[in-house]
Amino acid sequence: MMLLQWCTLSPAGPSKLSAIRFSSPSRVHSIKIFPTDAQPFGQCPDIIARTEPEAFFLDVYFNAHPVGSSVDAKQKLKAPNALMPTVIPYAGGIVEYAVNMGSEFATRLMIVRGDFETVSMAIYGDVVSDTPTKSTTYSPLSLPIHSSVPLQPNDDWELPEFPHLYSDLNEEEMDIDLDTAFRCLSRPVVDDVSSEQLHRFAKKVSEAVGPRDDAQSYLIAGILSRSASQTPEFAQALMQALELETIFDSSTLDEDALFTLLDASTNPDVSRLLKASWFLNVLQAVLALPTVTPEMKKACRRLSDRVGSWTVFEQALSGVPDADYTRAALFLKDIGKEEKSFGIWLSCITTHEDLFARIRDAPAYEGVYPLDLMSGLNPSEEITHSEFMAFVRAYVGVASVLAVYAWSDSLPNLHCRERTLGVLRLWQEIPGYRAIISPLLLLPQMTFRLECMTIGNDPPTTAGINAESLLFALAANPQSFLNPDFVRCVKGWEPWSLTWINERERADIERAAKLADEGLGGAVEELVGFAKEGHDAILDQGRIRALRVAVAVIMHTLEDNIESGTKGGDWAVLEAVWGEHTHGLLNYTIDVFTRISVEVKQGFSLTPSPSPTIGLEPLLLVANESLYLIASLHPLSITTTRAVRMLVSGVLDIYSRTDVASHESVANTAVRDAAFLVKHACANVLCALSRSSQDQPKCGSSAVLRTLFEQGLHFDNIDPAKRVSSALDLVLRVLAGDGDGLPAGWIPTVIPQILTPLTLFFRHLEPMHKVQLVQQLVSLDRGVLGLGEFLVQDEVKRLAGLLKVMAERGAVTQWEVGAGLEFVAGLVEGEDGDWCISALHQSECGTIMAGLLEAGLYSKHLGMIAGRLAGNPESLGIELRLSVVTALLRGVQVQELSVCRMNAFGLISAVLETTDEKDRDPERLLWEVGHALGAVVESNDNLSSLDSESVVNTLLLLDSPSQSDLHGLTCEQWVKLCTHLETSLPPNMLPMLPIIKGFHPSPSSPPMISFLPSTLTLPLYDLISLLQPLAPLPSTPPPKRKSPSQDVLGLVAISPPTAVLRSPAVTGLTKTYTRNDFRELRQLPSARQNTSRLPSMHVDDFLQVEMSSSPLAQPVVPSGDMLNLSPSFNMGKENGYI
């Protein structure tokens, strides 16, 4: 981008036009306007801008110069003089306006019109080649017609002391009734009111209370509500004077009184009084009334929750150990839904000294931005006191600025209003603050003030531009369109009347507002219409916004069931679906989600693919909301296994992608936060499907788990390791906890149906992932099916089979065996690993140990398994016992840490004591013991860690007249060991020393012991060969089919003589050609080839591919160990790619 033009324009003529002509076609990217006396270029101080007046509109027209190919050069002179209009609102200062001309057009002429005297501007862009233009059309626009709305008269405005109008609590020192007291409090009391006046007024109100009735309950509730935002002593005086138990009961509380009490309970003093058990019982009695309305049920539930949440909020402020920070944050979210509650809370939090002090003295917060705690997704135990206090301080700050904005707008104070709107706009772009400010801006008063500032913003002002920016940010959240005030605001925008929001965005927002205004019918129509378009549906910003609003409207109706305690929302959705002459809304929603998941997959492909047409964040957000809608619709619908499998497959696709997008390395915070929401929604919808009733067993947990196991091994242009890991994560979430919510007895019913895909999926997991899955299944199985034992024994059987081919396959098989031992060791190390040890008793574990020891291979996991098996040697077979002893001795020889920490000789002697002397092999075991003792003596100076008693017991058990040599010990080492035994043995074992000294050291080279590899290293050549597609196998092409006219005799069946067929002259017709036979035949005369067929060229082509020297130029068939990779590496083979 370069500077195309610097100029100071002055309008000429009655049309007030100015023009700029570029020397060559240019594409303008931005226009920067400078105020008077500004120096736009630091290197040219003599250039000074001059722009007058301070604010005005500029109508900018660009000559549309099409950019086309040279083929259209003949049509260049026929291009019409089309103008592209752009409106620039200038409100003062140095302002840069972006111009999006697109790639199809350039310009050579720029026309400026407006009510200005002079304007200095710099135009930036690029110069493009001169290309022929294309015909364009211009549609004239009608001018907007503004209608004036008269203001309602208000007598208070005419008073000279306005706005300082206060209530007179004295009322001429005479008795008052409740209605007079209620109207008296329509104005605030003066700040310096005396305590005597407040208590006197409260006493008068108490004396005016009569028999219970609806009107009296409403007036008392209104007096409490209007006093709640006054000085704290006022509410306290009323609480002391009134006996609320004699005023409120289930027969006198109507809808208006309940909602008025809801506002009053925002005051902590009123809330403490209403938390009494008698009042909560009254609310329960109201809910039990047969005449109760859904709105009354909502009010009762919210009132009961609010009086309880005040206590939770105060505990969270104090930072008690078991404080529920999540509920306290949701308490603030509920308060921000109504203006009265919001104002009362802000007044109380700043006037109650105890509350204000706790917020003022909050601990320091180390983070950058406050957390979004009002989403309810953060578990309370993961939130610290400092994080919660940072959130509360941010909430108080935002609320205070909103109060200042409302005050400055009502006066009006233009400068203060502009500054506060600038602060609010800044906060709306900051994570944490955005979640606080957005719902508060939807309060009716705030929305109305912003609406007034966006209408008639001519000339443009900074405050009006900020107001448009705030409303545009609100329009990005579909929940905003559920607010009727916001819908009325955006529907009131006239075309081409806005300064910051362009016309396309205004039209998209208006369409979404009309959709929300239509209600359920329009939402269902939009959702079903998009689903019916299938993969041809076009996704852009406007369509995404409409889909999100449609989903929000349906979800809002369904959530009405929870608030009102009825099923009215479910019935309303069903009626709306039937009203659109359709059915199966759940299936349509699944189709919508599937279409969105396909769009998301384009951004995470392993191979280059077209990028999504829109940003990733809106796609993730609409996917998150559609998943919650699916979870809500599932209990109301009858679905099929096909639909469930399609949904689970799409969930796995998008979960594996969002797992990457939620990583901390992703720079875009908004995308990362949206990815976290989608991951949570994926787990939520799968749990909802799995916990469905047993009326549809094949559509529940069985279909979900089977699809996860199968699709987890389906690698469609994605990292295989990430795919398997994501599938396992979802499986564990479905099986989370103790299976709470899953149908009773589902394990014996479901697992046998999915055992084959479960076993195949299990083999592709990493060792520690296998441990997690098996432990979860065992905790759910509780020994009913023995599922854990089956998987362990099957894995041990597979390892025993690998040992038989380990010599041929080499390092790859060794790595596989090591990974299998790591899995078994992970199970036996657990607290509940006894079942695994019992399973090993009945497996081929002894065969594996013996085979590894015979091959001179060892693993730290082998020593851990041997140590756990040695804990109960009586249940082991004789061969397994000797293998355990040998494995422990090998661990001592290589000084493996896990074996050295477990008192190996103590375990060895304990195992040998359970064996008969005839079953032992003293010669082999003494050879192992000698090298083990040699390694201990060689690696320790003082031998303090050696268990002398266990060593003596082991040698005594292996003492044999025919074998007394200890191989692996030198004379010096033997003397050192015997000296240590003399000083460390207890007195009762000293008589055994002569027997021990009867052994003879016999120096010998230590055994060659190799560790099983824990990692697998592949040469780059082999890795490339794995990624290359297979070369096509040669095959004889089918003969061309001849028509009957080409071979008439071919239609006649002739039986040739047998002698002719057996003649040596025709034997060449049956020759089999291999490798270079064709090439050799070409070098002979055709008469000597003895064949009527021409050489086959496709065989030579295949040989050229096979003999190619470059592994990058041609595909290479993998050989050797590469075809025998472990399950984590041979994924292509399992799926039929190798």
* DSSP conformation letters of 1044-1066: TTT-SGGGS-----HHHHT-GGG
**Is 978 inside a domain boundary?**
yes
Residue 125 phi/psi, 5-degree rounding, is: 175, -155
Tokens for 808? Answer: 């041929």
Please, what sign has the CA dihedral across residues 635, 636, 640, 642?
negative
> What single-letter DSSP state applies at residue 757?
H
Strands 105-114 and 17-34, by their bridges, are antiparallel
CATH number for the domain harbouring residue 73: 2.60.120
Of 889, 874, 957, nearest to 920 (Cα)? 957
Residue type, 801: G
Is the domain of 792 the same as that of 939? yes
Only one residue has tokens 């003649």, namely 1063
Matching residue, tokens 């990974």 = 819
Which of 988, 1011, 1034 terminates a domain? The answer is 1011
Cα–Cα separations (whole angstroms), residue 511 to 199, 220, 493, 855, 941: 56, 45, 12, 75, 84
What is the C-alpha to C-alpha distance for residues 1078 and 1031, in angstroms, rounded to an integer? Answer: 21
Among 520, 517, 512, 529, residue whose Cα is nearest residue 558: 520
Spatial distance between the Cα atoms of 685 and 690, rounded to a whole number of angstroms? 9
Q: What is the reported pTM?
A: 0.74
Q: Which of 1005, 905, 901, 895 is nearest to 940 (CA)?
A: 895
DSSP structure string for 305-335:
HHHHHHHHHHHHHHT-TT--HHHHHHHHHHH
Rounded CA-CA distance 1108/1119 in Å is: 15
Tell me if 75 is assigned to some domain: yes
Q: Rounded CA gap, 1064 and 1057, in Å? A: 14
Q: Please give the full DSSP string across 53-66, using - where no structure is assigned.
A: SSSEEEEEEEE-EE
Residue 580 lies in a domain: yes
SS3 for 22? strand
Question: CA 476, 481, 482, 485 torsion: positive or negative?
Answer: positive
**Same domain? 510 vs 531:** no
In angstroms, what CA-CA distances link 293 with 296, 554, 558, 571? 5, 22, 17, 16
* Gyration radius from the chain CA atoms: 42
Coil, strand or helix at 659: helix
| Cα dihedral sign, 111-113-117-120 | negative
* Region class of 715: left (phi > 0), else alpha (psi between -120 and 50), else beta: beta
Residue 501 shares a structural domain with residue 532: no
Helix, strand or coil for residue 111? strand
pLDDT of residue 72: 47
CA distance 501 to 463: 14
Contact assessment for residue 121 and residue 23, using Cβ atoms and an 8 Å cutoff: no
Q: Is residue 1026 part of a domain?
A: no
Phi and psi dihedrals of 101, rounded to 5? -85, -15
Tell me: do 415 and 433 sit in the same domain: yes
> Which mean pLDDT values do the consecutive 10-residue runs of the chain (1138 residues) have?
89 85 88 91 89 88 72 45 74 86 82 90 84 57 61 62 74 71 87 86 89 91 92 91 91 92 94 92 92 89 93 92 92 93 94 91 87 85 92 95 93 91 93 92 94 83 91 94 94 88 92 93 92 85 93 90 66 85 89 91 72 80 94 87 92 89 71 89 90 61 92 84 92 75 71 91 93 91 87 92 83 89 89 84 87 88 89 85 89 82 84 84 85 84 78 84 78 86 84 83 83 82 70 67 50 48 49 51 49 48 41 38 40 37
User: Encoding tokens for residue 934?
Assistant: 């040699």
Instruction: Kindly provide the b/e burial profile for residues 495-526, where b requires at least 16 CB atoms within 10 angstroms of the residue's own CB.
Output: eebbbbbeeebbebbbbbbbbbeeebebbbbb
Q: How wide is the angle at C-alpha 1121 spanned by C-alphas 1117 and 1122, nearest 5°?
A: 45
Which 8-state DSSP code applies to residue 897?
H
Tokens 């089956």 found at: 790
What letter represents residue 783's amino acid?
G
Q: What angle do CA 807, 812, 814 make, to 5 degrees?
A: 60
What is the SS3 assignment for 1041? coil
Same domain, 534 and 508: no
Q: What pLDDT was estimated at residue 1077?
A: 52
Tally the domains of the chain: 5
Pair (916, 1001) in one structural domain: yes
Tokens 């405050």 found at: 463
What is the torsional sign of CA 740, 742, 744, 748?
Answer: negative
CA distances in angstroms from 19 to 121, 302, 317, 820, listed in the order given: 13, 63, 63, 79
Q: Tokens representing 562?
A: 């929870």
Same domain for 428 and 566, yes or no, is no
Report yes or no: 462 and 92 within 8 Å, Cβ to Cβ: yes
Rounded to an integer, what is the distance from CA 891 to the centroid of its chain? 45
Same domain? For 594 and 682 the reply is: yes
**340 belongs to a structural domain:** no
| Domain annotation covers residue 1118 | no
CA pair distance 1092, 1090, nearest whole angstrom: 7
User: CB atoms < 10 A from the CB of 208, how many?
Assistant: 18
Residue 887 lies in a domain: yes
**Are residues 532 and 665 part of one domain?**
yes
Which DSSP helix (H) or strand (E) runs through 31?
strand 17-34
Q: Check which CATH number belongs to the domain holding 448 and give it.
A: 1.25.10
811 with 901, same domain: the answer is: yes
| Neighbouring residues of 1013: CB distance < 8 A, sequence distance ≥ 6 | 811, 814, 815, 818
Helices (H) and strands (E) in the chain, counts: 49, 12
Residue 765 domain-assigned (yes or no): no
Q: Which domain holds residue 911?
A: 788-1011
* 932 shares its domain with 969: yes
CA distance 808 to 801: 13
Nearest-angstrom CA–CA distance, 830 and 875: 20
Strand partners, 95: 33
Residues contacting 838, CB < 8 A, separation 6+: 789, 875
pLDDT value, residue 1104: 44
Rounded Cα distance between 768 and 773, Å, is 9
Domain termination residue (choose one: 318, 352, 369): 318
Structural tokens at position 19? 């023009």
Cα atoms in the Cβ-side hemisphere of radius 13 Å centred on 751: 18
- Give SS3 for 126: strand
Residue 23: predicted pLDDT: 84
Q: Do 898 and 919 lie in a common domain? A: yes
Burial of 719: CB neighbours in 10 Å, binned 0-12, 13-18, 19+? middle
Where among 318, 343, 358 does a domain terminate?
318
Task: Round to the nearest angstrom and report the end-to-end CA distance of the chain.
Answer: 51
What whole-number distance in Å separates Cα of residue 117 and Cα of residue 16?
A: 9
- Strands (DSSP E) along 968-1008, which ranges? 1000-1002
